[in-house]
A and B are shown apart, each in its own frame.
Chain A
Amino acid sequence: MAQETATEKKTNPIVKFLRIPENYPDEAAYFWGMQCGACDAKFLGARLACGKCGETDKLSEVKYGGDGEIYVFSVVHQTVPGLEAPYVGAIIDLDDGVSIRANVYGLDPEKPDSSWFGKRVKMFTEVTAQDRDGNDVVAAKFKVQE
């Protein structure tokens, strides 16, 4: 027990391409990835090489903003046990040129509609679980911009 109390609780991102600053939540979490200096392709998270052109040396880290729009979606009704459903599972095209898989809030899941296409959305983060070691796990979600 003494050992456990001595371990400092951490805040971990649910996916590696979400970065949680030291002073989160005072400073917002953000998506990050790599951009290829040879072909300009952008990716989520760390990379050994460019998945588009194979470049291995000219990759640099980039930070992505949380604004974007809904490209496509599904409304998932049947899912893994223990999850609340239905939920809107969308592909979000970020303004900064990468796409994210995300839940979107602020839409009626019982009424999927073509008006959802291109809808402006904004990223927010929240603690969604505690892991086996008691660390907070933070996920990114999107809400419809009014």
Chain B
Amino acid sequence: MRDVAVVGVNMIKFGRYPEKDVVELASEASIAALKDAGCSIKDIELVASGNLYQSNAMIGQRVMKEIGATGIPVINVANACATGSTAFREAYYSVASGAYDTAMAVGSEQMGKMGLLGAGGGGDRAYSTEGIMGTGLMPGVFGQAGVEHMRKYGTTQEQIAKIAVKNHEHGVLNPHAQYRKETPLEDVLNARVIAWPNTLYMCCPTGDGAAAAILMSAEKAKKYTTKPVWVAASILTSDPYQERNPTMFDINTVTRNAAKQAYETAGIGPEDLDMVELHDCFATAELLHYENLFLCGEGEAGKLIDDKETYNGGKIPVNVSGGLLSKGHPLGATGVANITEIVWHLREEAGDRQVKGAKTGLAHVIGLGSACTINVLKR
């Protein structure tokens, strides 16, 4: 495998765009990333497009028709919430393998306000198990995952709520975030419960968004940028056998396996990271991923947030973008957007929320079912 650089990135502000369609959103992000790279669509040899809700709608090709249909290979990717990051990995391997010198990854999603509550429709409702035989909705699933940590280590709802406080505070400084509003601890704890222990502010919103990244071989990158950001590892795992899975989804092992591979491939340890953008679809998820990414020891996640070590300025800043909780989580866009965020920091272009002197960052996404991606970026 040869070295691959991220030469251009961009994203649109996550939010709600009922007046636009998803191809417009993806095209906007693609053009912005191409401009950031200082190249045009004519310079791109392969496109990987991530979109989940419209995975059968050839979004990648439709983007090309909008921004310049050059006839190159286009791959449409769906991998639950890891859709965008899997598209990034496809682009990465296309260049790393030597098959192509340039590639673009674009992630997009238009969710409206439905979220995943409407998922799984179409069958006879009499056979829907939701609320009859437990819960399979994401808030409940991630509620249970957090409760498992409470059971093992005595973690409290208040500790988990502090994660929502942090990410909303971070989000205030991010002009690309869907929500830019602080949520003090009492507000988080007193908000209506969605699925205990997660209250409203401990759940990410639904929304629309898009993000894109331009990847190039080292030789090609030299022609376009003086500030390349290198992909030190691009890992994808699926969940191995575990006794309770799939009755209870196992979001931990799949992330731990990816993290171990990522650190080994990048030749670093968690202590070498300057920032992490991880998959905080719910506050409970971020808590678990502190340990899953080995940012702290077993059972120490509660203490890590109590000590504010994951704030910007702390030992290991996590989700300085505001994370999914504040920045938003348009499914297919998320995995490219968190890479975009890290690239901005490594290039010292992150404005008010800049992580000082950031040289190495880790982007983590988990799609339930499960797929976990970890991309390690270095300047």
Which A residues lie at the B interface, using CB under 8 A?
Answer: 12, 14-15, 41, 44, 51-52, 71-80, 83-87, 89-91, 93, 98-103, 112, 114, 117, 128-132, 137, 139-141
B158 to A: closest C-beta gap in Å? 14
11 A-B pairs whose Cβ atoms sit less than 8 Å apart in the complex = A15-B129, A44-B247, A75-B143, A79-B117, A79-B130, A89-B143, A89-B144, A91-B134, A99-B244, A128-B132, A129-B126
| B133 at interface by CB-CB < 8 Å | yes
| B196 at interface by CB-CB < 8 Å | yes
Say yes or no: A74-B139 contact (C-beta < 8 A), given A101-B129, A130-B126.
Answer: yes
Query: How many A-B pairs with Cβ below 8 Å?
Result: 137
Write the chain B residue with the least CB distance to A112.
B196
Which residues of B98-151 are within 8 A (CB) of A? 117-118, 124-137, 139-141, 143-145, 147-148, 150-151
Residues of A within 8 A of B135 (CB): 74, 76, 79, 87, 89, 101
Partner of A80, one of B126, B131, B148: B131
Say yes or no: A137-B126 contact (C-beta < 8 A), given A14-B133, A72-B144, A103-B134.
Answer: yes
Interface residues on B, range: 35 or more
The segment from B79-87, B187-195, B351-359, B371-379 found at the interface with A is B187-195
Partner of B144, one of A73, A129, A132, A137: A73
Residues of A within 8 A of B124 (CB): 131-132
Which B residues lie at the A interface, using CB under 8 A?
Answer: 117-118, 124-137, 139-141, 143-145, 147-148, 150-151, 154, 192-197, 241, 243-244, 247-248
Residues of A within 8 A of B117 (CB): 79-80
Instruction: Apart from A76-B137, A89-B140, A99-B248, list 7 A-B contacts with CB within 8 A.
Output: A74-B135, A80-B128, A89-B143, A114-B154, A137-B126, A139-B129, A139-B133
